[in-house]
Amino acid sequence: MPPANDRRILHFTDVANVPKIIAAGGIWPDNVMTNQSYAFRDCASADIKEARRTKPVPMPPYGCVGDYVPFYYAPRSPMMSAISKGGVPGYSDSRQLVYFASTVGAVCAAGLGWVCTDGNARTGLTRFFGTLEELESKIDWSIMEERYWANTADDGDRKRRRMAEFLVHGFFPIGLVTGIATHNQGIMDSIEGFLPPHIFTAVKPELYI
């Protein structure tokens, strides 16, 4: 098991947003993009986004979930599954998504504010935490290693736990991105000219649903 600082974190967005993210120097949280009327292609349900914009974060640096840039710990998330199955109106092709990868340690070393959760941040059952020790002990790391995470008769909470989040407050600088992955070479070719040289790129269809 890797130490907390080495934990991989993944953020995905539509390929059309990548040049704008690079030009902005990083990833803004949803509340900033909405309030400032940034033009971006959304890949989440409107009702989910609205709930996250107002869901309080009960610990420093406080604010609402929508004030944070969200990351997952594992690919093939329930959110991506919903997209691929037509569960997000107006967005049904998960192959158009691009992963931005970094690590918990990179965020900590940069001194950025963050919190973590033990499940989907929008869900009432989910708890918020603020230390590396809690990140290691409160998140179900075993389910992050599994390819399939659907709820079962014996465990009706698997899906929520797979959606545990690492939330970075305010802004996520592009300098902390260590890698970018796409579903196919065509998607990679369309963005590679925009990417800074420090970012490792890889075509990884196995990360997609």
Chain position carrying tokens 């890889």:
202
Residue 185: Cβ within 10 Å count: 10
- Sign, CA dihedral 23-105-113-137, equals positive
CA-based angle 25:30:35, to the nearest 5?
A: 95
Q: What are phi and psi of 26, to 5 degrees?
A: 160, -170
Q: Which of 175, 77, 68, 53 is nearest to 115 (CA)?
A: 68
CB neighbour list of residue 2: distance below 8 Å, 6 or more residues apart: none
Cα(73)–Cα(138) distance, integer angstroms: 13
Residue 162 designated active-site: no
Catalytic residue among 7, 8, 52, 160: 52
10 Å Cβ neighbour count for 168?
Answer: 26
| Active-site residue, from 8, 161, 162, 165 | 165
Q: Is 136 a catalytic site residue?
A: no
DSSP calls for 95-163 = GGEEEEEEEHHHHHHTT--EEEESS-TTSTT--EE-SHHHHHHHS-HHHHT-S-----SS-TTHHHHHT
- The residues annotated as belonging to the active site are 52, 165
